């Protein structure tokens, strides 16, 4: 091994190797700086005596990150020596895998094949797929191969049939996305035949990316219902082989964000590879036994994963290694259970340190534990503890420096350089430290300095470093960065001889050779790379280009056909073939090839345009609908009083068979005056970055003289703002037409296409489109093209319209498609009012969905979110802590609700599928933030854990308006909350100042869908508070014995009034300041003397405030006398709620409420009250008002009560409501005059 892995200064302890360019991994067994010098081959020697396979396997896997610091021959020697010595067959296999990779790095292919021929690897399969797997439905359904049906089968996008799985395994592991496309939300089957020499018991070792089921000879032998990630040899299953032929069938299914992968080995009961069985691909066509989840066997209790789980429950060094292995064997486990081990270790280390001045762990062990936590601050905490424990452990120091660099804080980032320079100063020959510091210098503009550092290191080591890949790679990069291309090329070529698996430079070299017309040399590189990495598509495609350049079109087409046979779902290969056919002037065949591509990616508008170019007789779907007589329509349309009006507004939608859609909009605005130029010249198009693309089809300005100009600008803007609590992938394309004048008609055409490889919405399609606006429109249309195999449900406009079921004129629909649309003319504008209901209550609209009722929506959404509802040990422990000693369900609900709203802040990260699907509850709990879906899901699982069943609720908040109950649509909802059916109680996790019975105003009266576990759903309107639930009680004693009255009072706020005070008075430092302003809003000039507040963090209690202030104009005067208001100040409810003389829309009130004020006026000895008004009682359907007066000597008490009991006032009832507001205002504004006491 290379001696310069160990610094020559003193004999400092080295922990495990550190990769500058990859994740930091550690391993060692020394505990102090005084221990003997540690070298990695000594560490590998520990595997000989390791009694726990899980610990040994963890060390073997961690050692893989050493490879970049070793000369390859030394690395091979160390790995093979350790493999021969280890008692564990599993550890041996891992080390053999690494040795095989090292052999490939030096071009030794035979050694790779020899190593794996005796490891029991299953690599010969037939494969069929992908099958469509929306929301994991295909995984739970028996498909054709399970029933023994012969292919072809209905696949995800096209028919699929059995074919040979290409030899794409990477050291016994297949990453199936290399030949299965699309591989998300997909299911595949793999079949193999095992010819056993004898009958007997065996173990099937599996590592799978995806959920999986396995049958052997038709019987179920293995099952995992969720995707926990691919960990080689993670799961062990007992199987019984019969002598002769045994038939193996494996089913793997991925989620919408998952992948497909497989590692499979056959070993004996002692986990030693079975070497005398013959494996060959093949499916025998037999039906599998019925799938009964209760009868699937359990994994073998002696599997390395089971051992890792058991050991990780302890709190010692072996627990750390075991937990680290667990994290590698189940990399997608959402509960991250290994994190608990790290936290226990951290706590134990702290306790040990306080008691014994020692943590009880070695520095490298604490550093390893840092890999087990996700929070950046926890990683730094563990690493700093480790580094303080042993500052001579430079591997730990490098890991800490890397973590410093990952910080968002500039101040913490700056610690990286300081620490790296310290390490280099103390151990200048410690190569990883030198490389890390050089990388820092290069990244900050000091390339020459970094280069000099590395060259000095090379000289001091007498060029021994020139056998170490990490050193060569960085040295070559710095020479290239410094403009020394020849020296860099020489180094990169040398790197190929010691690290052939790094194919980047081979690509550059092949490109250079082709540019120099050295085709044969380039082909040698390409052929070698195809042998080295047969799954990489770029090498054979480069060969296709060369064959085309050599006019060998038959050879190019033959190679493309071979690639398509291996990867029938790869759309790019069909495009390459179509391109080749066009070059050969075979346009008909090219168009047919593009049809095959469109079957696999039907939403790809670029493919459609290319096909349309090759077949001019075919139109793009929207072309027959485009309105070309815009000017004629405008001539027949009277001008309005607006700045501009709409001549044409239509949306044309094409839905692909996979549910992805393309929408084309044509809009024409007529400019009527100067004020209309700017708004008519501008359009903003919203789209989802990564899921959709926008194509501006044209911007045309029709001039009154008949001419047309097409001068316009386009720019993109983002949807999230700095400091926002919303992070999503919404983006905008902005369009501005230039040189627009009064009288012009500005016509826009654009297309928004969903282009993701997958419809992350599963099998759902829906849309909501408004057909009205605040301006009239001469012509409007909404049309959907959709497959004949689909059934769509529509909510037609309420305005007069024509239903469209065919294309205009003689145009023909594309095969297997149907059309439905609505056409409207002379669409009236909507006259809006302040305080009107939500959009769909005011504007007419079209709604479309492929879900007939809300049970279908409920089941669809439940299947989407169910996998995110996870309870781990942390959540379970917190629920137990919160509910300890509580005896009633209500107490438990209050404790959990209050914890969630007060300890998880609102932050929306709605990227991709997470605009629809919550993040895992474990993630929201750990991160302590989330959006409405995340918080609702967390509330649900915590309540369920506490024994109070809860359900998820989708909400259409009030501001959006109400929609018809059919068709059922996911698009209508914009919020999510939780529901406790046993209490009929809705809980909004985003309302951090609300108690459990204080539903937010935006939720009250809103439409909602309660989704039960399993997906049964109930579409309903949420309850609205009674007025007394939002009661505000205020009593004040006003001392009028001076010109500047003193007021003492008390406020008791319930419901939304309590929420208001909790939120506005949250900051204790500014509480008095803000409360004084609130008083002054009602009582001008009020100066707060003192105030006391109840505990505002107690969400289940009303807010109580006692106060004293002076001033406030409670005693007023006119030209003739002094007086007071009955209410204490003027109260204008008429202006607040009914300031318009009439309305065209209904009026909405924020919430029903009650206000109760008790005023006590105390006069001085020289004053008395004149006539006191009569008591008043007003009762209406809209609310009530009561005012009672009580006078005794110089004291007047006024008891004032008023309420509004309706949330929505119909337009026809508005005049009566306004009269009621006027009466209330007059009653509350009664005045009582004061006069001097008669002498």
8 Å CB contact between 1021 and 1005: yes
Residue 408 confidence (pLDDT) above 60 = yes
Percent of the chain with pLDDT over 70: 92
Strand ranges across the sheet with 951-956 = 985-987, 975-980, 951-956, 1007-1011, 1017-1021
Lowest-pLDDT range of 219-223, 747-751, 870-874: 870-874
Residue 23 confidence (pLDDT) above 70 = no
Closest CA to 1009 of 865, 859, 890, 1148: 859
pLDDT value at residue 951:
98
Which of the 8 DSSP states describes residue 629?
-
Q: Which is it for strands 159-160 and 1176-1180: parallel, antiparallel or unpaired? A: unpaired
8 Å CB contact between 300 and 237: yes
Distances (CA, A) of 228 to 204, 315, 867, 1217: 18, 24, 11, 61
Q: Does the predicted TM-score (pTM) go above 0.75?
A: no
Closest CA to 90 of 43, 46, 52, 41: 52
Compute the average pLDDT of residues 217-240. Answer: 94
Compute the average pLDDT of residues 115-128. Answer: 86
pLDDT value at residue 35:
32
756: confidence class by pLDDT, cuts 50, 70, 90: low
Residue 660 confidence (pLDDT) above 90 = no
Compute the average pLDDT of residues 1033-1037. Answer: 97
For residues 495 and 1113, the model is more confident at: 1113
pLDDT value at residue 367:
92
Residue 33 confidence (pLDDT) above 70 = no
731: confidence class by pLDDT, cuts 50, 70, 90: confident
Bridge partners of 744, per DSSP, are none
Q: How far apart are CA 317 and CA 956, in angstroms?
A: 52
316-338 pLDDT, tens digit per residue, is 999 999 999 999 999 988 778 89
819: confidence class by pLDDT, cuts 50, 70, 90: very high
Closest CA to 747 of 698, 677, 674, 685: 698
pLDDT value at residue 1099:
96
557-601 pLDDT, tens digit per residue, is 999 999 999 999 999 999 999 999 999 989 889 988 988 888 788
Distances (CA, A) of 1101 to 605, 887, 1156: 58, 19, 18
Ramachandran angles phi, psi of 1010, nearest 5°: -85, 120
> Would you call 747 helix, strand, or coil by DSSP?
strand
Q: How far apart are CA 828 and CA 846, in angstroms?
A: 16
Residue 17 confidence (pLDDT) above 50 = no
Handedness of CA 901, 903, 907, 908 (dihedral sign): negative
pLDDT value at residue 6:
29
CB atoms within 10 A of CB 517: 7
Percent of the chain with pLDDT over 90: 67
pLDDT value at residue 985:
97
8 Å CB contact between 816 and 800: no
Mean of pLDDT over the chain: 89
Q: How far apart are CA 460 and CA 8, in angstroms?
A: 12
1168-1209 pLDDT, tens digit per residue, is 998 899 999 999 999 999 999 999 888 999 999 999 999 999
pLDDT value at residue 916:
79
Q: How far apart are CA 1202 and CA 802, in angstroms?
A: 50
pLDDT value at residue 941:
97
Tokens of 516: 């120099």
248-286 pLDDT, tens digit per residue, is 999 999 987 789 999 999 999 999 999 889 999 999 999
For 1079-1103, the DSSP string reads HHHHSTT-EEEEEEE--TT-TTS-E
Q: How far apart are CA 1044 and CA 1042, in angstroms?
A: 5
Lowest-pLDDT range of 171-175, 355-359, 680-684: 355-359
3: confidence class by pLDDT, cuts 50, 70, 90: very low
8 Å CB contact between 782 and 769: yes
Residue 7 confidence (pLDDT) above 50 = no
HEC profile of 517-541: CCHHHHHHHHHHHHHHCCCCCHHHH
Q: How far apart are CA 934 and CA 930, in angstroms?
A: 5
For 256, counting Cβ atoms within 10 Å of its Cβ (0-12 exposed, 13-18 middle, 19+ buried), the class is buried
- Sketch out the chain's domains with CATH numbers: 3-115+306-498 (1.25.40.10), 120-302 (2.60.120.380), 504-602 (1.25.40.10), 623-714+731-850 (2.60.40.3140), 856-1023 (3.10.620.30), 1028-1236 (2.60.120.1130)
755: confidence class by pLDDT, cuts 50, 70, 90: low
25: confidence class by pLDDT, cuts 50, 70, 90: very low
How many alpha carbons lie under 13 Å from residue 1137 in its C-beta half-sphere?
30
Q: Which is it for strands 908-910 and 726-728: parallel, antiparallel or unpaired? A: parallel
Looking at the chain, the number of H-run helices and the number of E-run strands are 36, 50
Residue 710 confidence (pLDDT) above 60 = yes
Lowest-pLDDT range of 663-667, 1191-1195, 1218-1222: 1191-1195
Compute the average pLDDT of residues 1157-1166. Answer: 92
Compute the average pLDDT of residues 447-466. Answer: 83
Residue 66: left if φ>0, alpha if ψ -120 to 50, beta else—which one? Answer: alpha
957-998 pLDDT, tens digit per residue, is 999 999 999 999 998 999 999 999 999 999 999 999 999 999
Closest CA to 372 of 405, 352, 344: 344
Compute the average pLDDT of residues 34-56. Answer: 70
- Spell out the long-range contacts of 447-450 with Cβ–Cβ below 8 A and sequence spacing 24 or more: 447/478, 447/481, 447/482, 448/482, 450/478
Q: Which is it for strands 1231-1236 and 1122-1125: parallel, antiparallel or unpaired? A: antiparallel
Closest CA to 957 of 999, 921, 996: 999
Compute the average pLDDT of residues 97-125. Answer: 79
pLDDT value at residue 1063:
95
pLDDT value at residue 1196:
95
pLDDT value at residue 295:
77
Strand ranges across the sheet with 1153-1163 = 1087-1093, 1103-1110, 1046-1053, 1031-1040, 1153-1163, 1195-1204, 1183-1192, 1176-1180
Residue 492 confidence (pLDDT) above 50 = yes
Ramachandran angles phi, psi of 752, nearest 5°: -115, 120
pLDDT value at residue 111:
52
Residue 13 confidence (pLDDT) above 50 = no
Q: How far apart are CA 477 and CA 483, in angstroms?
A: 10
Compute the average pLDDT of residues 463-488. Answer: 86
HEC profile of 647-691: EEEEEEEEECCCCCEEEEEEEEEEECCHHHHHHHCEEEEEEEECC
Compute the average pLDDT of residues 346-374. Answer: 90
Q: How far apart are CA 543 and CA 548, in angstroms?
A: 9
pLDDT value at residue 41:
66
Compute the average pLDDT of residues 36-46. Answer: 59
Ramachandran angles phi, psi of 666, nearest 5°: -120, 125
728: confidence class by pLDDT, cuts 50, 70, 90: very low
512: confidence class by pLDDT, cuts 50, 70, 90: confident
71: confidence class by pLDDT, cuts 50, 70, 90: confident
Distances (CA, A) of 694 to 145, 192, 426, 804: 41, 46, 56, 27
890-945 pLDDT, tens digit per residue, is 999 999 999 999 988 887 655 456 677 888 898 888 877 888 999 999 999 999 99
pLDDT value at residue 617:
60
pLDDT value at residue 488:
87
pLDDT value at residue 531:
85
Residue 760 confidence (pLDDT) above 60 = no
42: confidence class by pLDDT, cuts 50, 70, 90: low
For 572, counting Cβ atoms within 10 Å of its Cβ (0-12 exposed, 13-18 middle, 19+ buried), the class is middle
8 Å CB contact between 185 and 267: no
For 955-1015, the DSSP string reads EE-GGG----S-SB-STT--EEEEEETTTTEEE-TT-TT--TT---TTTTT-EEEEE-TTS
For residues 617 and 639, the model is more confident at: 639
Handedness of CA 1076, 1079, 1084, 1085 (dihedral sign): negative
723: confidence class by pLDDT, cuts 50, 70, 90: very low
């Amino acid at each position: 091994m290379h001696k310069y892995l160990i610094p020559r200064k003193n004999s400092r302890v080295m922990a495990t190797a550190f990769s500058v360019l990859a994740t930091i991994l550690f391993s060692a067994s020394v505990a102090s700086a005084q221990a003997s010098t540690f070298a990695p081959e000594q560490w590998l020697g520990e595997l000989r005596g390791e009694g726990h396979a899980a610990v040994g396997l963890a060390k073997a896997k961690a050692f893989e990150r050493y490879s970049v610091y070793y000369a390859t021959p030394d690395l091979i020697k160390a790995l093979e020596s350790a493999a021969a010595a280890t008692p564990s067959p599993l550890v041996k296999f891992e080390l053999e895998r690494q040795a095989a990779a090292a052999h490939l790095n030096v071009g030794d292919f035979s050694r790779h094949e020899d190593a794996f021929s005796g490891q029991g690897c299953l690599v010969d399969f037939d494969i069929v797929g992908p099958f469509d797997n929306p929301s994991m439905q295909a995984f739970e359904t028996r498909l054709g191969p399970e029933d023994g049906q012969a292919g072809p089968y209905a696949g995800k996008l096209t028919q699929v049939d059995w074919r040979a799985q290409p030899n794409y395994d990477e050291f016994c592991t297949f990453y199936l996305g290399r030949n299965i496309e699309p591989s998300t939300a997909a299911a595949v089957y793999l079949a193999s035949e095992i010819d056993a020499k004898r009958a007997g018991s065996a173990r099937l070792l599996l590592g799978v990316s995806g959920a999986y089921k396995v049958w052997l000879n038709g019987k179920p032998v293995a099952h995992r219902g969720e995707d926990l990630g691919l960990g080689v040899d993670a799961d062990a299953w007992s199987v019984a082989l019969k002598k002769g032929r045994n038939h193996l069938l494996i089913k793997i299914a991925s989620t919408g964000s998952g992948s497909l992968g497989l590692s499979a080995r056959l070993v004996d009961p002692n986990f030693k590879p079975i070497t005398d069985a013959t494996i060959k691909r093949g499916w025998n066509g037999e039906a599998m036994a019925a799938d009964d989840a209760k009868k699937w066997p359990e994994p073998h209790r002696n599997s390395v994963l089971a051992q890792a789980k058991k050991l990780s429950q302890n709190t010692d060094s072996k627990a750390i290694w075991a937990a680290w292995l667990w994290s590698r064997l189940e990399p997608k486990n959402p509960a991250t259970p290994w994190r608990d081990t790290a936290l226990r270790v951290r706590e134990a280390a702290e306790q040990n340190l306080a008691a014994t001045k020692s943590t009880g762990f070695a520095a490298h062990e604490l550093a390893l534990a840092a890999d087990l936590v996700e929070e950046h601050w926890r990683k730094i905490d563990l690493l700093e503890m480790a580094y303080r424990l042993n500052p001579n452990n430079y591997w730990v120091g490098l890991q800490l420096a890397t973590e410093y660099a990952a910080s968002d804080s500039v101040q913490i980032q700056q610690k990286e350089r300081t620490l790296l320079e310290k390490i280099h100063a103390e151990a200048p020959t410690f190569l990883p430290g030198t490389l890390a510091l050089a990388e820092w210098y290069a990244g900050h503009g000091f390339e020459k300095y970094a280069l000099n550092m590395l060259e000095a290191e090379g000289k001091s080591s007498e060029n021994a470093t020139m056998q170490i890949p990490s050193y060569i790679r960085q040295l070559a990069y710095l020479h290239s960065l410094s403009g020394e291309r020849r020296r860099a090329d020489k180094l990169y070529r040398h790197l190929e001889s010691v690290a052939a698996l790094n194919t980047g430079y081979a690509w550059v070299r092949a490109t250079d050779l082709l540019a120099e017309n050295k085709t044969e040399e380039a082909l040698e590189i390409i052929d070698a790379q195809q042998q080295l990495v047969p799954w990489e598509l770029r090498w054979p495609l480069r060969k296709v280009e060369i064959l085309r350049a050599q006019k060998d079109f038959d050879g190019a087409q033959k190679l493309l056909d071979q690639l398509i046979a291996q990867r029938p779902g790869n759309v790019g290969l069909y495009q390459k073939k179509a391109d080749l056919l066009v070059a050969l002037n075979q346009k008909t065949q090219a168009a047919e090839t593009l049809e095959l591509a469109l079957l696999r990616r039907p939403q790809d508008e670029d493919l459609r345009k290319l096909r349309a170019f090759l077949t001019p007789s075919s139109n793009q779907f929207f072309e027959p609908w485009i309105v070309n007589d815009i000017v004629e329509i405008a001539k027949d349309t009277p001008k309005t009083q607006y700045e501009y009006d709409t001549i044409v507004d239509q949306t044309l939608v094409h839905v692909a068979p996979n549910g992805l859609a393309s929408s084309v909009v044509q809009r024409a605005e007529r400019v009527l005056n100067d004020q209309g130029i700017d708004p008519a010249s501008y359009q903003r198009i919203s789209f989802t970055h990564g899921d959709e693309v926008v194509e501006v089809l044209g911007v045309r300005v029709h001039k009154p003289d008949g001419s047309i100009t097409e001068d316009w600008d386009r720019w993109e803007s983002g949807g999230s703002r700095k400091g926002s609590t919303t992070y999503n992938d919404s983006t905008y394309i902005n369009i501005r037409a230039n040189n627009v004048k009064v009288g012009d008609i500005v016509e826009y055409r654009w297309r928004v296409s969903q282009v993701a490889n997958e419809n992350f919405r599963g099998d759902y399609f829906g849309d909501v489109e408004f057909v009205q606006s605040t301006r009239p429109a001469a012509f409007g249309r909404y049309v959907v093209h959709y497959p004949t195999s689909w059934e769509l449900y529509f909510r037609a406009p309420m305005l007069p319209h024509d239903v469209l079921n065919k294309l205009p004129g003689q145009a023909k629909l594309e095969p297997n498609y149907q059309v439905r649309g609505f056409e409207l003319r002379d669409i009236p504008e909507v006259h809006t009012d302040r305080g009107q209901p939500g959009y769909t209550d005011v504007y007419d609209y079209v709604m479309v969905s492929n879900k007939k009722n809300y049970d279908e929506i409920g089941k669809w959404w439940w299947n989407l979110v169910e996998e995110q509802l996870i309870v781990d040990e942390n959540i379970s422990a917190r629920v137990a802590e919160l509910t300890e000693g509580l005896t009633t369900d209500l107490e438990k609900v209050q404790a959990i609700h209050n914890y969630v709203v007060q300890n998880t802040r609102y932050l929306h990260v709605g990227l991709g599928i997470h605009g629809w699907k919550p993040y895992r509850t474990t993630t929201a709990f750990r991160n302590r933030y989330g959006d409405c879906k995340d918080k609702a899901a967390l509330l649900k699982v915590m309540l369920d854990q506490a024994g109070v069943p809860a359900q998820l609720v989708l909400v259409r908040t009030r501001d959006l308006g109400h929609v018809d109950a059919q068709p059922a649509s996911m698009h209508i909802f914009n919020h999510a909350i939780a529901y406790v059916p046993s209490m009929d109680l809705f809980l909004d996790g985003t309302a951090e100042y609300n108690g459990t019975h204080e539903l937010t105003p935006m939720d009250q009266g809103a439409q909602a869908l309660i989704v039960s576990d399993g997906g049964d759903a109930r579409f309903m309107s949420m309850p609205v508070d009674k007025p007394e639930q939002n009661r505000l009680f205020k009593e004040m004693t006003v001392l009028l014995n001076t010109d500047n009255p003193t007021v003492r009072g008390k406020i008791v706020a319930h419901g939304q009034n309590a929420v208001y005070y909790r939120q506005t008075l949250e900051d204790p430092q500014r509480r008095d300041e803000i409360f004084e302003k609130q008083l002054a809003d009602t009582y001008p000039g009020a100066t707060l003397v003192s105030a006391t507040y109840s505990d505002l963090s107690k969400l289940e209690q009303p807010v109580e405030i006692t106060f004293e202030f002076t001033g406030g104009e409670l005693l007023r005067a006119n030209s003739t006398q002094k007086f007071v208001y009955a209410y204490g100040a003027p109260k204008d409810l008429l202006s607040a709620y009914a300031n318009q003389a009439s309305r065209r829309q209904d009026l909405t009130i924020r919430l029903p409420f009650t206000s109760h004020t008790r005023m006590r006026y105390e006069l001085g000895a020289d004053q008395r009250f004149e006539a006191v008004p009569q008591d008043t009682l007003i009762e209406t359907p809209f609310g009530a008002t009561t005012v009672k007066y009580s006078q005794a000597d110089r004291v007047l008490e006024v008891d004032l009560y008023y309420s509004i009991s309706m949330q929505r006032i119909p337009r026809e009832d508005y005049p009566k409501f306004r009269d009621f507001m006027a009466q209330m205002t007059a009653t509350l504004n009664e005045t009582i005059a004061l006069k001097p006491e008669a002498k």
